[in-house]
Chains A and B, each alone.
Chain A
């Protein structure tokens, strides 16, 4: 059903093209000739074991690593906005920073201690409403549960409205209600034609929600639709090999 819907939507997100992208930090090869494409307007999941280079690949996409190879974004129009939701952010319990302060610091140009900018207040309110955090805006970030904090991070990724959304394990800390919120957001993004690159551990969720899935363990092990990719044999090779020892 989602695929049929997807065809009717004009995608506003970019195509992401990884062409022989390699990354070596020190003497550790983190990415080895990674080549795949993320289709515009699709929800592309990235799976793989810990230390397999998923987060490094995202950092590379955000231009934060000294990679080799060609990595390009083909935008349908002018260069658009990239939203990024990190895996987790640590906050001291006593840090006097409320959800509103955090959203202001992330979204507006005006310093957060001067209060919420009127220009962004509406968008921030709407984003917090979408993740169900509207009634906890005055709570301290450190006092939130892990799932609530994850929802705030999700809301932060919605402002300004992105055309490409990069999610680093957004569901890892979410509770049951939060997962429902996330799935609703995901279908909204699909409707809007946004390209979503999504790192996920929950293979059941990937099979249910993603359009395409790439298995990454230092190099690309497979790149296919979830139905083709998530077979027991493929998952065994993805999660059981030790590429560093075989490489030596």
Chain B
């Protein structure tokens, strides 16, 4: 119509002719993009920290018996420190065994774990020499502060170390047991 030239022309678009599908796809893309952004912002990188050559990973480098003793030592360290505060000296292994603290107590499980002979090394360390090196290595715990500081040596016929510094222990073939909490070790299959 010539008389309606200043007006507007509205074309009725067919329904369902593709543009609705396009909008739905566009919405899907937006949802995916938002979800992807959120996931990438909240995700944490799986950084696996390498263990130094003089260290052992507590979760995967220890035998079952060693892991058991290591865990017991970590727990008993609290008791050792309490006793140390009470009597202002480190308790002897015999004293700890009497109280029934693992791994100092002599019982069936300690025998099956290698039957360690514990002794107190001056100035502040516990040494457990293994009697069955195939089951478990010998363990050494230095008591200095609240953090456990535990070393392992799998050599047979071991003598008590004289130098209890890091360098001295490393030189004598000891390895420090460290616990790391990075990648989920339970999901890894190391066969």
Give the distance in Å from the alpha carbon of A74 to the alpha carbon of B8 in the complex. Answer: 6
Give the distance in Å from the alpha carbon of A75 to the alpha carbon of B11 in the complex. Answer: 11
- Confirm or deny: A15 has a beta carbon within 8 angstroms of a beta carbon on chain B: yes
**In the complex, are the beta carbons of A73 and B10 less than 8 A apart?**
yes
**In the complex, are the beta carbons of A68 and B7 less than 8 A apart?**
no
Q: What string of 1s and 0s marks CB contacts (under 8 Å) between B9-39 and chain A?
A: 1111111110000000000000000000000
- Confirm or deny: A232 has a beta carbon within 8 angstroms of a beta carbon on chain B: no
**In the complex, are the beta carbons of B1 and A75 less than 8 A apart?**
no
- Confirm or deny: B48 has a beta carbon within 8 angstroms of a beta carbon on chain A: no
Across-interface contacts of A63 in B (CB, < 8 A): 12-15
Q: What string of 1s and 0s marks CB contacts (under 8 Å) between A44-82 and chain B?
A: 000000000000000011111111101111111111000
Across-interface contacts of A77 in B (CB, < 8 A): 6-8
- Confirm or deny: B4 has a beta carbon within 8 angstroms of a beta carbon on chain A: yes
**In the complex, are the beta carbons of B7 and A76 less than 8 A apart?**
yes
**In the complex, are the beta carbons of A64 and B8 less than 8 A apart?**
no
**In the complex, are the beta carbons of B12 and A40 less than 8 A apart?**
no
Q: Please tell me the size bucket of the interface on B.
A: 10 to 19
Across-interface contacts of A61 in B (CB, < 8 A): 12
Across-interface contacts of B10 in A (CB, < 8 A): 14, 72-75, 79
Number of A-B contacts (CB under 8 A): 55
Residue in A14, A66, A74, A75 whose CB lies within 8 Å of B14:
A66
**In the complex, are the beta carbons of A72 and B7 less than 8 A apart?**
no
**In the complex, are the beta carbons of A75 and B7 less than 8 A apart?**
yes
Q: Closest Cβ of chain B: how far from A26's Cβ, in Å?
A: 13
Across-interface contacts of A40 in B (CB, < 8 A): 1, 4
Q: Closest Cβ of chain A: how far from B21's Cβ, in Å?
A: 12
Give the distance in Å from the alpha carbon of A68 to the alpha carbon of B15 in the complex. Answer: 10
Give the distance in Å from the alpha carbon of A73 to the alpha carbon of B11 in the complex. Answer: 6
**In the complex, are the beta carbons of A75 and B17 less than 8 A apart?**
no
**In the complex, are the beta carbons of B9 and A74 less than 8 A apart?**
yes
Question: In the complex, which residue of chain A has the Cβ closest to the Cβ of B12?
Answer: A71
Give the distance in Å from the alpha carbon of A123 to the alpha carbon of B15 in the complex. Answer: 32
**In the complex, are the beta carbons of B12 and A75 less than 8 A apart?**
no
Q: Closest Cβ of chain A: how far from B44's Cβ, in Å?
A: 44
Give the distance in Å from the alpha carbon of A15 to the alpha carbon of B11 in the complex. Answer: 12
Q: Known contacts A72-B10, A74-B9, A75-B10: does B15 contact A65 (CB below 8 Å)?
A: yes
Across-interface contacts of A74 in B (CB, < 8 A): 1, 4, 7-10
Question: In the complex, which residue of chain A has the Cβ closest to the Cβ of B13?
Answer: A63
Q: Closest Cβ of chain A: how far from B87's Cβ, in Å?
A: 77
Residue in B6, B9, B14 whose CB lies within 8 Å of A73:
B9
Question: In the complex, which residue of chain A has the Cβ closest to the Cβ of B4?
Answer: A74
Give the distance in Å from the alpha carbon of A27 to the alpha carbon of B7 in the complex. Answer: 38
Q: Known contacts A73-B9, A75-B9, A76-B7: does B14 contact A68 (CB below 8 Å)?
A: yes
Residue in A62, A66, A70 whose CB lies within 8 Å of B16:
A66
Across-interface contacts of B4 in A (CB, < 8 A): 14-15, 40, 74-76
Give the distance in Å from the alpha carbon of A72 to the alpha carbon of B13 in the complex. Answer: 9
Across-interface contacts of A65 in B (CB, < 8 A): 14-15
What are 17 A-to-B residue pairs whose CB atoms are below 8 Å? A15-B4, A60-B12, A63-B13, A63-B14, A64-B15, A66-B14, A72-B10, A72-B11, A73-B9, A73-B10, A74-B1, A74-B8, A75-B4, A77-B7, A77-B8, A79-B8, A79-B10
Question: Nearest 8 pairs between A and B by C-beta?
Answer: A71-B12, A73-B10, A76-B7, A66-B14, A75-B7, A72-B11, A74-B4, A66-B16
Hey, which bits of chain B sit against chain A, CB under 8 A? 1, 4, 6-17
- In addition to A60-B12, A73-B12, 20 A-B residue pairs with Cβ atoms within 8 Å of each other are A14-B10, A15-B1, A15-B4, A61-B12, A62-B12, A63-B12, A64-B15, A66-B16, A66-B17, A68-B14, A72-B9, A72-B11, A74-B8, A74-B10, A75-B9, A75-B10, A76-B4, A76-B7, A77-B7, A78-B8
Hey, which bits of chain A sit against chain B, CB under 8 A? 14-15, 40, 60-68, 70-79
